[in-house]
Amino acid sequence: MNTLVLGATGLCGNFMLKYAITAKEVNKVFTITRSPLPAQQAEDAKVTSFQEKDNAKWGDIIKNDITDNIDVVLTGLATTKAVGGAEFQYSIDHDLNIELAKVAKDRGCKTLVVVSTMGANKDSRLFYPRMKGEIERDMIALGFDKTIILRPGILLGDRGREHTGFGNGAASAVGGWFYRSRCQWLMGYPVKGEEVAKVGVHLALNKSNQKVQIVGSSEILDIASKL
What mean pLDDT comes out for the span 28-53? 95
Percent of the chain topping pLDDT 70: 92
User: φ and ψ at 13, to 5 degrees?
Assistant: -60, -40
Average pLDDT over residues 174-183: 75
The percent of residues in the chain predicted with pLDDT above 90, rounded, is: 80
Nearest Cα to Cα of residue 159 among 4, 2, 39, 12: 12
pTM of the model: 0.90
Q: What pLDDT does 216 receive?
A: 95
Judged against a pLDDT cut of 90, whether residue 176 lies above it is answered with no
Mean pLDDT score of the chain, rounded to an integer? Answer: 91
Residue 34 phi, psi (nearest 5): -85, -35
Residue 169 has pLDDT above 70, yes or no: no
pLDDT digits (tens, 9 = 90+) for 41-80: 999 999 999 999 999 999 999 999 999 999 999 999 999 8
What's the pLDDT score for residue 162?
Answer: 44
Instruction: Say if residues 59 and 96 touch (Cβ distance below 8 Å).
Output: no
